[in-house]
Structure 1
């Protein structure tokens, strides 16, 4: 039972990552002719857009480590779930921010 509880968060995070990558791949293939997938005019806005998913993962890991310190939850579980959930939230932020104004035409 301990092995299952230790590996389940890694599997859940892996499923989240595969789903997000498949969604981005589908969106890229759908917009390939337009060439405007996640493009911003200014360099600062483009840098922010490009860093949303990795930043989500970092914040998720930090929250996971913090939860592991205060509660008796395995560090492996909290870090892997935190990274997976942060990846998902970073993707949502990427989707929202890429649809806002200042898109490259």
Structure 2
């Protein structure tokens, strides 16, 4: 049981990372990665995924303090889930209609 609890966050976050990277690679190969006209909007678009990871890790720290799950586990899961939410925010904000 202990080894499962040690490997589970690695498998979950690894699966999320592979999914996001493959989806971004697919969008890049098709030439449909998000592009914005203004430099500020493009900077925001490019930083959505890292910002999602930071917020996810911060939520993981808060959750880890108040739960019985170890702190490194909650931080890594929070960052992975934030990575996924950052990707979804990137997809939403990079659509043609969103300015």
Tell me the TM-score normalized by structure 2: 0.93
CA RMSD, 1 decimal: 1.2
Gaps of 5+ in 2: none
CA drift at 1:11: 1.4
Distance between the aligned counterparts of 1:11 and 1:81, measured in 2?
10
The structure whose Rg is larger is: 1
Which of 39, 58, 61 matches 1:65?
Answer: 61
Alignment of structure 1 residues 1-105 onto 2, 5 Å:
1-31=1-31, 37-99=33-95, 100-102=97-99
Q: Is residue 52–residue 94 contact of structure 1 (8 Å, CA) maintained in 2?
A: yes
Q: C-alpha deviations, 1:31-52, integer Å up to 9, x for none?
A: 2xxxx62111111101100000
Distance between the aligned counterparts of 2:54 and 2:48, measured in 1?
10
Structure 1 residue ranges, 4+ long, deviating more than 3 angstroms after superposition: none
> Which structure ranks higher in relative contact order (CA pairs < 8 Å, sequence separation ≥ 6)?
1
**SS of the residue 1:89 aligns to:** helix
Residues matched between the structures, number: 98
Tell me the TM-score normalized by structure 1: 0.88
CA drift at 1:60: 0.4
